[in-house]
Chain A
Amino acid sequence: MKEQPFYVGYMPQMEGQLARFIGRWVVALLVLGIGLGFWLASSQTRLTGGFFDFGHAQSFEGILQLEPQPMLWVQNPNSETRTAYLLVAPFKFGAGPLIQPFDNQNVVLQGSLIHRHGRVMLELVPDSIEPRGGEQRFAPQQRVLGQVELAGEIVDAKCYLGVMNPGHLKPHRDCAVRCISGGIPPVFLVRNEEGLADVLLLVNQQMKPFGPEILEWVARPMRIKGQLVQSGNLWLLKTEAVDFHALD
């Protein structure tokens, strides 16, 4: 039997040959650690897009609308048209209760921008809404684009548009459940032919927000049948839970 060095931890010094053996392994493990760090970090694929201007609120003026989801219609420069900014509250809550007293009023409010690929949202600073005079109530032009059946994934608009990255798919599922349960608008994320994502605001047949029945569908591959409606710059998918079909 080959004589192997025998080391007991409380001996002060390792014998030279053993010390070299262990030393080489320790160095190899340290190098492996650094290598794995780079390797694993650079193997992630779904971490692009999305912006949240965290901690930096700006003023926005526009007309508030509670349904189908809280939004602020902001006048476009030099134009009669308006752009909808979806509104949410801080953390995992919808803005509904905050804006309810001001439904259909022209207001100035403070909010932090969230945006992704031209879709915009504001995280409302609570108690920052101040009513203004001027035009009240705004009815965006609505165009019904017909029945569609689309494959995609339900996500919460806030995380997906920028608060979390990644803000979709399985790892984010529980968070999206919590957010939608707290009133953040659910959107249907559809990948088109070019792989670019469209987000469709999900509303029920009464053009109102979905209730808890939507939660079990969040972040799963699925198909939805519904009516595609364009409302100003927003795309709505008008549907009911019976028209949800699992693909998992």
Chain B
Amino acid sequence: MSVGYGAVGWNRQKKRYDFFLVLGIALYLGAFMGAGAWLFPDVTAETLMIRAFGSAALILLHLILLVGPAARLDARFLPLLYNRRHMGVTMFLLALIHGSFSVLQFHAFGDMDPLLSLLTANTQWDSVSGFPFQQLGFVALIIFFLMAATSHDFWLVNLTAPVWKALHLGVYVAYGLVLAHVALGVLQAEQSPRLWLPLAFGFVLVASLHVIAGWRERACDREQPEEMGWVKVCSPQDIPNQRGVVVTVSGERVAVFRDDQRIMAVSNVCQHQNGPLGEGRIIDGMITCPWHGYQYLPENGCSPPPFTEKIPTFQVQIREGSIWVKSLPLPAGTAVEPAVWGGES
């Protein structure tokens, strides 16, 4: 919820979230560098640092990409999603340490500016095994930087949601670049299946969870046929009390909620970060977003004062035991009379 863009403040859950995030990273780095130094006494500390931080960033990136679809498939994962932004910024910092150490180690203290060297030392673009892999990591790091720098809700508001969303979809481009960075880089020298199998497994896991979650969503994207400007949704008893269902009306996802006898419909898209409102609940009479808990009054799509978010609303009717939704949305924040259902709640 935001006045301006103050958004989600600090609280105890967030502190615990960050504590476990940092603890996990510290345990990983400690295990990697400890085992590396013990097993390979000849290795240099710089190599261990570069490898530990690079791989930590990549593992965290997998986690970031997995919690989204996991939470769509099982709402119990939502608490992991709640503070995903900190995971993202932390992942960027790990990658930044990895990249900076790499530039220092491989490019600095020589006869050329280190950044120029990063871009020009290898230009074998027409080869697979010789492909310039460091530049791929560099581009990915720039994308992560832009995402981390604009992760605050200030930017969400000022860049507008569609631009922000598009920018943050860049994570998939960056993920692809990092996979190539590793496959064409270190895996050209370290060819143990113990290294490339986990990487391939991670990719398959990310891809398949996204496909499954997307497929589930597609199922609800089946357009309901329109009759005279109205669309039939389902019968009221199909919606658990204080919950919603998502239907696609004229290509837009609409969340239809039931609060006891009252039936109301709003846009499914949360104004905060496009969270799926239809997967939320009605708490204290307000639709509550499953992602970060922004709230909207179901009868007019407005956040309660002092907040100012507004979402489009839809007219609703009950005819012959079925809910019907008008296919054209009303302007965001328009009050609508809820349809009243006579049945048992």
Taking Cβ atoms with an 8 Å cutoff, the residues of A that contact B are: 1, 3-12, 14, 18, 21-22, 25-26, 29-30, 33-51, 91-93, 164-166, 169-175, 177-179, 181-183, 216, 220-221, 248
Contact = CB atoms under 8 A, between A and B. Distances in A.
Given A5-B75, A48-B42, 6 more contacts: A8-B283, A42-B39, A165-B43, A172-B106, A178-B106, A181-B112
Interface residues of B, number: 78
16 contacts: A4-B74, A9-B292, A30-B20, A30-B23, A36-B59, A37-B31, A38-B32, A39-B198, A41-B32, A47-B47, A170-B133, A174-B118, A216-B124, A220-B124, A221-B129, A248-B127
B79 A18 contact: yes
A33 B77 CA distance: 19
B44 A164 contact: yes
B189 A46 contact: yes
A43 B52 CA distance: 13
B122 A174 contact: yes
Contact of A174 (B34, B51, B111, B134): B134
Contacts of A35: 31
Contacts of A175: 105-107
B109 interface: yes
Interface in B149-195: 184-186, 188-192, 194-195
Interface string B26-64: 011111111110011011101100011001000100010
B96 to A, nearest CB: 19
A44 B44 CA distance: 13
Given A30-B24, A43-B190, A181-B112, A8 B76 contact: no
Contacts of A178: 106-107, 110-112, 117, 121
B317 to A, nearest CB: 24
- 10 closest Cβ pairs, A-B complex: A37-B31, A92-B110, A91-B109, A8-B293, A9-B82, A174-B121, A169-B189, A43-B194, A41-B35, A170-B188
